[in-house]
Structure 1
Amino acid sequence: MPRIVDHDLRRAELAQAVWSLIREHGLAGVTIRSLSERSGWSSGAIRHYLPRREAILNFAAQQISEQAGRRLRELAPHPDPFEDFLARLELTLPLDADSRLWLEVWLAFVGAAVSEPNFADAQGLLYRDLNTYFQEVLAEFSRHGWLPAHTPQQAATELHALLDGLSVHLLLSQITPQRARETLRAALARLLVAPGAPDSSRP
């Protein structure tokens, strides 16, 4: 009987190996040979999935985007729409092991993209998917009158910039998780105002 291969599991294992190389050595440390040594896969097996180094790096970015998106979708909904969105925004901050790993890898892509434009597409994937999600949620808030002073695009850009800054500060241990949460809550409360409620209705 032929052996059944769980391709999703194998890809997840490979993603973990690529991420660990990026965290330790940066993007420059990712080669088919180093990935083979780290993952225990043969070079031939890696090339079956990812034939070139560029494909490996794009795969690493894509896997972060997919796993982060899955995490957002799987979070149990909160009956209060403000609290529900806030909880999902907090999931994007490096407040636990998974999100910290993803953001450390994201930072490596950002740094590399500054001087090497060929990494910009991979880094952009991480930005675009999340920004699209923000805009979709904020558009729904806007339709229900919760976004009195901004368009969904403006609000998404503002929130995304804040999350990026808070993430870097957290990774560098410049602020505490509690302070990051408080800052995020205050910023979201300035953007989202329940119809008929005063601007100061939320802490």
Structure 2
Amino acid sequence: MPRIVDHDQRRAELTAAVWSLIREQGLAGVTIRNLSQRSGWSSGAIRHYLPNREAILGFAAGQIGERAWERVQSVPASDDPFQDFLNRLEVTLPLDEAGRVWLEVWLAFVGAAVSDQDFADAQGVLYRDLNTIFVEAFEQFARHGWLPAHTPQAAATEIHALLDGLSVHLLLHQINPAQARTTLEAALSRMLIRPEPSA
């Protein structure tokens, strides 16, 4: 009887192994040989999924976006739209070990994107995905009168830039999680003004 292969589990294993290499050795350390040693898979098994180094790096970059999306969508909703959105923004920061892992990998790609258009394109996909989420959220707030001084796109750009800066500062241990949360909440409070209840 043929063995059933759990492809989702294999993708998760590959993601963990590739990200581990990137965190320890940077993008330069990602080779099929190193990935074979790290994952315990044969080179042939890796090539079945990812035939070359470019495919491995493309896969690793794509997984960053997927992981970010999963974290944002995992935040439960409540009856407080401001707090719900703040919670979703917070999970994109490296405030726990899981967030730190994927943001360290993200930062490696950001560095490479400065001089490599392929990496820049991959990084752009992640930026666009998150930016779309932010724009759509601010559009909802604008429709309900919460966004008096910004367009949704301008608000999304501003909050996204703040998140990127806070992420780097956290990764470099220049601020602590409490400071990051306070800064983010203060910025969001200046943008989103809860409408006064109708008389």
Into which bin does the TM-score normalised by the smaller protein fall? over 0.9
Query: Which secondary structure does the structure 1 equivalent of 2:114 belong to?
Result: helix
Counterpart of 2:60 in structure 1: which amino acid? A
Counterpart in 2 of 1:146? 146
Counterpart of 1:132 in structure 2: which amino acid? T
Distance in 1 of aligned mates of 2:141 and 2:164: 22
Q: Per-residue deviation at 1:118? A: 2.2
Kindly report the root-mean-square deviation, in angstroms, between the aligned alpha carbons of the 2 structures: 1.1
Q: What do residues 1-40 of structure 1 show as CA deviations (whole Å, max 9, x unaligned)?
A: 2211110010011001000000011111101111111111
Query: Which secondary structure does the structure 2 equivalent of 1:115 belong to?
Result: coil
Counterpart in 2 of 1:50? 50
Counterpart in 2 of 1:128? 128
Q: Per-residue deviation at 1:74? A: 1.8
1:6 equivalent to 2:2? Answer no
Distance in 2 of aligned mates of 1:54 and 1:191: 41
Counterpart in 2 of 1:26? 26
Query: Which secondary structure does the structure 1 equivalent of 2:170 belong to?
Result: helix
Distance in 1 of aligned mates of 2:185 and 2:75: 18
Counterpart in 2 of 1:97? 97
Counterpart in 1 of 2:167? 167
Counterpart of 2:178 in structure 1: which amino acid? Q
Counterpart in 2 of 1:40? 40
8 Å CA contact retained: 1:61, 1:125? no
Structure 1: tracts of 5 or more residues without a match: 198-203
Counterpart in 2 of 1:201? none
TM-score by length of 2: 0.96
Q: Per-residue deviation at 1:57? A: 0.9
Distance in 1 of aligned mates of 2:15 and 2:26: 15
Q: Per-residue deviation at 1:143? A: 1.1
Q: Per-residue deviation at 1:127? A: 1.2
Structure 2: tracts of 5 or more residues without a match: none
Counterpart of 1:114 in structure 2: which amino acid? V
Counterpart of 1:172 in structure 2: which amino acid? L
Counterpart of 2:164 in structure 1: which amino acid? D
Q: Per-residue deviation at 1:174? A: 0.7
8 Å CA contact retained: 2:15, 2:60? yes
> Which segment is superposed worse, 117-126 or 130-139?
117-126
Q: What do residues 104-150 of structure 1 show as CA deviations (whole Å, max 9, x unaligned)?
A: 00110011111222211122222111111111111111111111111
Q: Per-residue deviation at 1:78? A: 2.3
Counterpart of 2:13 in structure 1: which amino acid? E
Distance in 2 of aligned mates of 1:118 and 1:84: 35
Q: Per-residue deviation at 1:151? A: 1.0
Query: Which secondary structure does the structure 2 equivalent of 1:93 belong to?
Result: coil
> Which segment is superposed worse, 159-168 or 46-55?
46-55
User: Percent identical across equivalent pairs?
Assistant: 73
Counterpart in 2 of 1:200? none
Distance in 2 of aligned mates of 1:129 and 1:41: 32
Counterpart in 1 of 2:84? 84
Counterpart of 2:6 in structure 1: which amino acid? D
Distance in 2 of aligned mates of 1:33 and 1:22: 14
> Which segment is superposed worse, 60-69 or 84-93?
60-69
